[in-house]
A and B are shown apart, each in its own frame.
Chain A
Amino acid sequence: MSVTEQQKIAYVSAQAADARINFELETEGMTLSIGPQHPATHGTLRVLVRLDGEQVVWADPIPGYMHRGYEKLCEVRDYAQVTTLINRIDWLGSFANEVPFILAAEELMGIEAPPRAQYIRTVLFEMARIANLTLFLGDMGVQLGAITPVFYAFRDREYVLNLIEGATGGRFHPNFDRIGGLKDDLPKGWIDETKVVMRRIRRFCDEIDDLLVGNRIFENRCRGIGVIPRDIALEYGLSGANARASGIDFDIRRDEDSPLAWKHADWKVWTHPDGDSFARFWLRQQEVRESTKIVEQLLDGLPAGPIRAKTPARIRVPKGEVWMHTENPLGEMGYYVVSDGSPGGPFRCKIRTPSFSNVSIVPWLLRGVLVPDVITILASLYFILGDIDR
């Protein structure tokens, strides 16, 4: 059936009428700069969004306000000095930043820390995760207008930070991990206190259940917002809870044969099929619960023995290249260390941080969402600026 001339004319005039209406009602687009100082950005991330009415048509995150050049600085410091720097990458879970770097150096040197040191490392690693993620659980509420959870989060995180301080001497920047082991053993009474606090943290998770999960407003603002499909998550290199919320069953703690002690504990890797903001929030809540279980079990089974392997007085890492990654609070963190065998530091230290990849999805994810959802999505992706900018 062919199209008659009259039908063509009718079609063209209808198109023209549509175009006229669109032209008359067209709103001027607006460019909105979110940040660099915005509470939703946990630091100084600037997100430039182009708006059409309430809808985002284009978004571009601009990192770099906190770029400190750690990869360059690592090249002019020796291995012991590097741990001081990399503590400041993800400042809410500092101890977890040290571990993969130390493991990389240990692998190159061919030494392994004694079992007790590995257990204590894992315990502190998980406590860094708890300190990091409890803040997220409270903060997610603040972003959506519920201010109460954050007070609970700060209160209970304080107990964890006190314990980290008790063991390492540093609340935020422990700098406790050494090549071949740890700086010190655990103080007396620390294990019992920790178990009490772990029960407290689990109660905090239950409180978050009461305060946020099941709350109509919270669920409506999170469910179905910022959905990341599995393929896209893999292409952007999303890791950690962001990947697991998209149904990717990927946790380096379980999947890789690490010298750390996760394999000695009984715990579960949660995944969620939805891939939306709520899934990411829910998943991190479960992760905190699992972490408390890991800590308790490892403290129960803490082996006796030395906390430091015999290492030379002067650390000299032999020639070689190594890639070492761990499952940090925010996702996969890894160091690609190239050592040239000189007595100084690494020849090249590529720092792969989880937030960098997690935020690189923002231009894709924000296209077409409404302005209030921008905040939900940024909050649920959960990044830390030091972790993007390094």
Chain B
Amino acid sequence: MATYDECVAHIQQLLSETVAQGEVVAEDVDLIEELGLASLDVMELIEHLEDVFDISFPINELGDVRTIGDLARRVQPLT
């Protein structure tokens, strides 16, 4: 099982490789309103996380996810 910090690190790495141009995105940045991700970008991020951790992430959970921290808290128990 991955730790919360490992989940955060993976999400930060994926975002840095895609939308954040090498920058590290802080744990409490709002993915949509501050980072400007479209809903489809969030879905792609989930796909990558599912591969990294070999999990299935229910998209019903996305409604409450605003930040990297929110996402990591939901991914971590599935790992």
Q: Do A and B come from one complex?
A: no
> Which positions in A face B, CB cutoff 8 Å?
none
The chain B residues found within 8 Å of chain A, CB to CB, are none
